[in-house]
Chain A
Amino acid sequence: MGNHKDTVTSRQVTIAVFSLVIGAGILTVSREVVDTVQTPDAWISVLLAGLLTMIAGAMSVILCNRYPGRTIFQFSKEVVGPVIGTVANTIAILYFIFIAGFETRILSEIVSTYLLHRTPEKVLMITFIWVATYQAIGGINPILKAFEIYFPIVIVLLVGILLLSMRKFEIINILPFFGNGITPLLKGVGSSLTIYAGYEIIFVTTAWMEKPKDAMKSLFKGLILTTVINTAVVLITIGVMSIDEIKNLAWPTSSLVAEIDLPGGFIENYKLFFIIIWMISIYTTFLGVQYLAAVGISQTFPVKYRNALFAILPFIYLVALVPHDLGEVFIMGSAVGYTWLGIGLVVPMLFLVISLIRGNKKGGRAKQK
């Protein structure tokens, strides 16, 4: 049942939200948003989507705080009844397995494109999955501690790379604001919402927080940080590459890094740092969703956490093998995003409304298994 005798601190929750949300999506987000919006101010959509996610996140915390000490997998049966609750949990578990498979695939795509050309992708995937599993066996605390270790590395490298890219930033590329009205921006919110998938970790962590009242604050800190980073990535990519070029790029964020050109030739290849960041952030996302899936299974069905963790491995691997080519990987990415719109945004709101109507607030910190 995972080792969560120790409680979770507020800072860990903030970092967990950041680590899960920043994942594979940020590699391609600029292209996806620009494709829908078609104007240079597409980054505003990303900002708006972040604000929307915060609203959804706030509702989720309110919901979780109504059932202190229990995770969503445990109290969902109480909110909507045992049958629907089990169905909802199963869907959520499948969704987490789906994301885990997608992240695995993206990782192997990037590593085989940029780093290891001849290493079979299957070897990359299997190694990746096993390493994450080894870490996840210990339960929530080792995972959150790993996030804490990676967090400063990712932030420093990411901010450094963004600042270096600013040398080629042209303000004229991001003007005008609202050049085509607000309608395309609103359309863009839909496709940019998808990169905020992952804050769902709070459905579980809130239950074990030292001070559950701080859940809201830590969630907001995490989401604000993510929104700033996501918006900055899109804004700078548009400013450097211009919208016309972004549409041509498979991995716009990676091309942004390739544009960095510092005089002096101190370091010529910044892609390396970029690959470090994205391998870590994809790893943390994978770790998080894999844990969520396993914990979901163990709390919905009579299966031990450890067994659940191993049982989902083949499914994650199979999902990762589904896309036939890179185009299908990207389609899978949007599918993940749109599924999240349902599971990450609509379901919590629905649950909250039902819970408020039924008013079944049974207090007390439930026994932790």
Chain B
Amino acid sequence: MKAKKITAFTLIIIMFTCAACWDRHEVEELGLVVAMAVDKESGSDDKFTMTTQFVNPNGVREPETGFKDSKAYFNLSRSGESIFETLQDFDIVSSRIPNFEHLNIIVISQEAAKSIDVYRFVHTLLAFWEVPRNAYVLISESEARSLLSREPELEHMPAFEIDRMVTTETGTSKKQFKRSLGDLAKDFAAGSSVAVQKVSFEESIALKGAAIICGKEYKLLGFLDERETEGLNWLNGNAVLSSISIEEKESGNVINTTLNIKKHKIEPKIKDDRISFKVSIIAEGDITENWSETSDVMESEFLRGIEVQISDEMEKRIYDTLDALQKKFKADVAYFWKTVRSTDFRLWEEIKDDWDDIFSEADIEVNVDFHIRGFHNRTSR
């Protein structure tokens, strides 16, 4: 009995003295990083500056006294040549240990995207276990870090503002569909070029157009403007509650309709060594604006005329986009290559290294079929 007591006592003592908590982190002591900006360091070729946006929990909390005592975020910058090292160096300047689990937004400046290898950057970040694969990547026209220091009107911090803008999928198709770190990694792994969202700074932060990153050198090739981006989004079937305006043939009045893409299909045709594509898109929408006094939207003849006109307009814009992709950039960011791979795998294995050249030569036929489903008002006046 005595021996048992002694054993029990010893065990309890051991329990207290040997207890360890190697990985204890208090939630409020973590430095949550929500956004990251990458800029090129001026005067150096390889060095880049990384800016991270931390959440300041005291600033996010709703103030009871009626005024905010501190900003909801703070930004820190470090420069370096190695991505991982630079990230770790934030420990030097931050009192909180950076935690990247809630990283949402990564903005890379134009200059940086032209000089650093974007794939290496994406790959290194993803190898860092904390970084989520669904953080969104954007390319900024100007300095990236200045986007993170602009006080937003509605949200608590710039990162949240940009995140809201990025993740909205309905509405305009003038901004490129969102692309995450994981998406980039997948496309680059297959040797494909990628179009990511472009962010610029006008009077406020603006998300429009697309930036094209080459799948060979993994560097920024250039930008698509708003119109070309629309065409690209339509090609990829990304248009929900978007809209399109045309001038009516006879009267020259502006007519605007909503635009939803219902079906889109890219069919490759492989004959001998020529590859051509047939793109068919079925879209529909409602008439929202009609400045014509003479026409009546209840007349089906009028509607059919508009449908044909809109279909032609969409085709025209898509052809313009394709022209830019094939001639100017030689980059298949509309994923035509996937249809080739899924049709003839052996052929794809042979040609995948020269795909950009083959794509730029390929004949592409676009067929848009637009239907008007309804109207919001019989006349506009």
Contact = CB atoms under 8 A, between A and B. Distances in A.
Question: Are these two chains actual partners, yes or no?
Answer: yes
A100 B84 CA distance: 35
B190 A258 contact: no
B23 A117 contact: yes
Contacts of A179: 344-346
A255 B190 contact: no
Given A180-B346, A261-B134, A242 B189 contact: yes
Contact of A259 (B123, B133, B167, B339): B133
Most buried by A among B20, B133, B190: B133
Nearest to B339: A172
Given A120-B22, A242-B190, A269-B101, A255 B345 contact: no
Interface string A193-230: 00000000000000000000000000000000000000
Interface residues of B, number: 28
Interface stretch (A56-64, A133-141, A152-160, A243-251): A243-251
Contacts of A261: 134, 180
A113 B129 contact: yes
Nearest to A257: B133
Contact of B345 (A117, A172, A176): A176
Nearest to B346: A180
Chain A interface size, under 10 / 10 to 19 / 20 to 34 / 35 or more: 20 to 34
Contacts, number: 71
B343 interface: yes
A301 interface: no
Interface string B330-359: 000000001101111110010000000000
A39 B22 CA distance: 44
A158 to B, nearest CB: 19
Interface in A218-277: 241-242, 244-245, 247-248, 255, 258-261, 263, 268-269
A175 B342 contact: yes
B102 interface: yes
B185 A263 contact: no
B57 interface: no
Given A179-B346, A261-B134, A118 B189 contact: no
A39 B338 CA distance: 13
Given A176-B342, A179-B346, A258 B182 contact: yes
Interface of A: 39-40, 113-120, 123, 172-173, 175-176, 179-180, 241-242, 244-245, 247-248, 255, 258-261, 263, 268-269
18 contacts: A40-B341, A40-B342, A114-B129, A116-B22, A119-B22, A176-B341, A179-B344, A180-B349, A242-B189, A244-B189, A245-B190, A248-B123, A248-B189, A255-B133, A258-B182, A259-B182, A268-B101, A269-B101
Given A175-B343, A245-B189, A259-B182, 7 more contacts: A114-B129, A117-B23, A118-B23, A172-B338, A176-B345, A244-B186, A259-B134
